Amino acid sequence: MDILAGIRIIDFSTGIAGPYATKLVADAGAEVVRVESASGDPLRRRFPGRAAASGGDSALFRFLTAGKSVGSVDDDSLADADAVVLGDPVTAPSVVELRRRHPRLVVVTVTSWGLRGPWVGRPATEFTVQAESGVIANHGRHDEVPYQTGGRLIEWCAGVTAAVGLVGALVGQRRVGRHVDVSVQAVAAHTGITFVDVRDRVEGSSVAQRPPRIIDAPSIEPTADGFVGFAAHSPVQVRAFLTLLEREDLLGSDWERLDYRLAHLDAWNEIVRDWTRTQPSGSVVAAAARLRIPVAPVLGPEGFFTHPQIAARGLIAAGPDGRFRQPVGPYLIDGVRPAPRRSPAGVVNRPPSPAAAGQAHRPLSGIRVLDCTSVFAGPSAAQVLCYLGAEVIHLESGDRIDSARAIVGPLMGADAWWEQAGMFLSNNRDKLSLAVSLGTEQGRQVVSRLIERCDVVLENFAPRVFERFGLDHDAVREINPRAVFARMPAFGLSGPWRDHLGFAQTMEQVTGMAWRTGCPDKPPRVPRGPCDPLAGYHAAFAVLLGLIRREANGVGAAVEVPMLDVALNAAAELIVEFSDSGVVLNREGNRCWDAAPQGVYPCRGEERWLALSVVDDEQWAALRAITGWRDDEALRTVAGRRACHDELDERLEVWSRRQDLDTAVAELVAAGIPAGAVRDPRLLSDHPQLRGFGYYEESDHPIVGCQQIPALPFRYDDVDRWSTGRAPLLGEHNHQILRGLLGLTQAEYDQLERTAVISTRPAVV
């Protein structure tokens, strides 16, 4: 794939986030030159679960850097580059100086807290960032220590976020220059808490209650030969699940209610597991699929290579050096996947460099998007495009509203309940709303006329849904050859699982994310949320590529971004490490390979948890000074401390229980130790750093009033705020779109309204 041929990126970053961002652009054809310190990228030496390979680089390093070159740079080479990617440590003044010397350069920074706000430069690891973004507080029962999302998943999310910010800057203002400031903390909040902060404020929940822990029932359940994960949320799915358990006697009972199941969780687990433990995983998955229950086996790396959908679509293939296997590219454009080049791309067809004068601040200004998506993943992709300047028309209907509108908890049944869902309010700001029924011939004609006038069409339903309306890739191309049509099926448009239902939890179960989340002596746990925005941002990235290619050839594109393919890429370390060395990376609770001690420890009071992560020996010495522990030669290295982690956890808990949380965090951070509070996600809009970074932006809504709503987890230095308005009311812009954009007569409009082809209320209230 050579869509970005002619683009030159200089990559100074280490770790996962920055290199994954530059992998995405390199696989799309950009030339990426990596610049390492004299000691080399630490990722070269990351060998979790085994001794370092003699003279070789880690499989993860090779996966992330394939197709890139290694070199050095000076001011002349920077002047010839389109973008620079920087990671921690980097300072705001250094970026300002770099931009001063090279004003046409796009500078991307990927740092723990971003480069604006009071916490810039504060010591951190991905673990303490998870704590300070509300992610850890979401996980586990209240009788358990809360735990992290495993596999450094937030860094993978930050990587695609940075790639979107970078390519967004290139698509609209190539060579004009801007600073793309990515905050890993904001990424964690954006991808890890499913907007519980907005939802709880709108619903009026009391913060005096204990912080919420997101628990599914059912979730991941043990079988006779492994684990199977379910995502049964709707009443229909719950009743189908009871039928699956052969417990029709419970139909119509309190067990159909989630609040009842959670209040009696041990009894519920016994009901479920009395059946699942007697069945092989394959039989459970097949039976659940027949009942249209979202289901998947919970796979570790050994299961990836034989899963029927992964095998049929060839989603794992040999890496460029042939020494291990890896996930293939996470999207397709006209049937072609991105892939690492064996040598860097040459400079060909360099894009023009339009003058800065008179250009709009938003790179997608003038682009129109028809957003035919629902819930989280699809709307998040369209929301990115909207914030980048596109006009986005969100399509729903009275008889099939966006399912996110129904996630309103106790507000269900209240006046205008469908306008009060935190997820919808957060994922659909500044969009126009058209409520027109695709189930009618007149509705389909309206949508076809809209497609003629749009640059991008997005949909994320099961494949059969849009195809039933006669809107597959070929049909959309016939209507509008210039349209970039992006489809986001859960499992892809081909293969034996093509029509299986899939949610974020399903993908987390089948791709190894759940395998690495939770405690080693307990079942795997779903991270619960990241796969939706992860898929959304990959889709936005692929759409941006489709628009760039259209600039060159005038032709639209058929884009396919399956959530399964995306999730496998974010779980790549499991796959590449196993195929390279045979090592199975398991869940470690709150521990990780790169730090020791690392964990969550109770402080004085209820639900007052300290997150601590000691990365190097200097930080260990500082921790000893604070706790008053004596020096111990066996604990002077990370490896030595890992070997004694159980003992260290016990000692830390004795110390932490005597501490005030805020005082302990302040003292540890002042000593240079990554530490943080396990934040209640409901209170994140008051977090000093997220506010200082500008992650939350005020929105005045006619139904829910003035609210702090999350925007993008990256900032452009020339955009003061992303949002210019609010989420739309259902069908709010019917008249504007149908009469104004499509030119319907008033009589035609009235007829559509009279026959309920268009609407402003759900059919069932």
The last residue of one of the domains, among 204, 239, 272, is: 204
In 259-324, DSSP assigns E strands to 295-297, 316-318
Q: Is residue 128 part of a domain?
A: yes
Per-residue buried b or exposed e for 501-536, using 16+ beta carbons within 10 Å of the residue's own CB? bbbbbbbbbbbbbbbbbbbeeeebbbbbbbbbbbbb
Distances (CA, A) of 626 to 205, 607, 622, 676: 38, 23, 6, 16
Taking the CB of residue 616, how many other CB atoms lie within 10 A of it?
14
**Region of residue 318 (phi > 0: left; psi between -120 and 50: alpha; otherwise: beta):** beta
Whether residue 404 is contained in a domain is answered as no
Among 576, 462, 563, 585, which residue's Cα sits nearest to residue 508?
A: 563
CA distance 50 to 662: 37
The backbone torsions φ and ψ at residue 106, rounded to the nearest 5 degrees and listed phi first, read -85, 120
Contact indicator for 241, 218 with CB cutoff of 8 Å: yes
Structural tokens at position 7: 């683009």
Q: How far is CA 42 from CA 14, 58, 267, 276, 346, in A?
A: 7, 10, 48, 44, 28
Radius of gyration of the chain (CA): 25
For residues 642 and 597, give the distance between their C-alpha atoms in angstroms, rounded to a whole number.
Answer: 7
Domain boundary among 171, 204, 237: 204
DSSP 500-566: ----HHHHHHHSSTTTTSS-TTS------STHHHHHHHHHHHHHHHHHHHHHHHS--EEEE--HHHH
Contact 229, 517 (CB under 8 A): no
Strands of the 31-34 sheet, one edge to the other: 69-70, 31-34, 8-11, 83-87, 106-111, 178-183, 714-716
Half-sphere CA count of 73, side-chain side, radius 13 A: 22
- For residue 256, tell me if it sits in a domain: no
pLDDT attached to residue 73: 85
From CA 152, how far away is CA 479, in angstroms rounded?
A: 43
Name the phi and psi angles at 373, rounded to 5. Answer: -125, 170
pLDDT along the chain (765 residues), means of 10: 95 96 97 91 86 78 94 85 94 92 95 97 97 95 93 97 96 74 98 93 72 86 96 92 97 94 94 97 95 93 92 94 93 96 45 40 93 97 97 96 93 95 97 96 96 97 90 95 97 94 91 94 90 97 97 95 97 94 94 95 95 97 96 92 96 97 98 97 95 97 96 96 96 98 97 96 89
Quote the number of domains for the chain. Answer: 2
Reduced to 3 states (helix: H, G, I; strand: E, B; else coil), residue 583 is: coil
C-alpha neighbours within 13 Å on the C-beta side of residue 440:
16
Alpha carbon distance 183, 712 (integer Å):
10
**Token pair 């999730």 is at which residue?**
567
Specify whether the CB–CB gap between 487 and 538 falls below 8 A.
Answer: no
User: What is the token pair recorded at 397?
Assistant: 């209907």
Percent helix, percent strand, percent coil in the chain, to nearest 5: 40, 15, 45
Of 565, 552, 566, whose CA–CA distance to 2 is shortest?
A: 552
> Counting Cβ atoms within 10 Å, is residue 283 exposed (0-12), middle (13-18) or buried (19+)?
middle
Q: Where are the beta strands (DSSP E) in 246-367?
A: 295-297, 316-318, 325-327, 332-333
Whole-angstrom distance, CA of residue 506 vs CA of residue 487: 18
In a domain, 475, yes or no: no
Range of the domain at 610: 598-683
What is the end-to-end Cα distance of the chain in Å, rounded? Answer: 48
Would you say residue 186 lies in a domain? yes
Instruction: Output the domain CATH number for residue 81.
Output: 3.40.50.10540
The tokens for 264 are 């009696």
Residue 481 inside a domain? The answer is no
CATH of the domain at 670: 3.30.1540.10
**Rounded Cα distance, 110 and 91, in Å:** 11
Question: In the chain, how long is the greatest CA-to-CA distance?
Answer: 86
Residue where a domain terminates, one of 656, 683, 710: 683
User: Using the 8-state DSSP alphabet, how is residue 630 labeled?
Assistant: P
Residue 697 belongs to a domain = no
Distance CA 629, CA 696 (A): 41
Tokens of 206: 């009391």
Q: How does 70-104 read in b/e, with b if 16+ C-beta sit within 10 Å?
A: eeeeeeeeeeebbbbbbbbebebeebeebbeebeb
State the helix-helix crossing angle for 563-570 and 531-553, rounded to 10 degrees. Answer: 110
Cβ–Cβ < 8 Å for 91, 114: no
Copy the structure tokens of residue 622: 């500082």
DSSP-derived letter for residue 145 is -
178 domain-assigned: yes
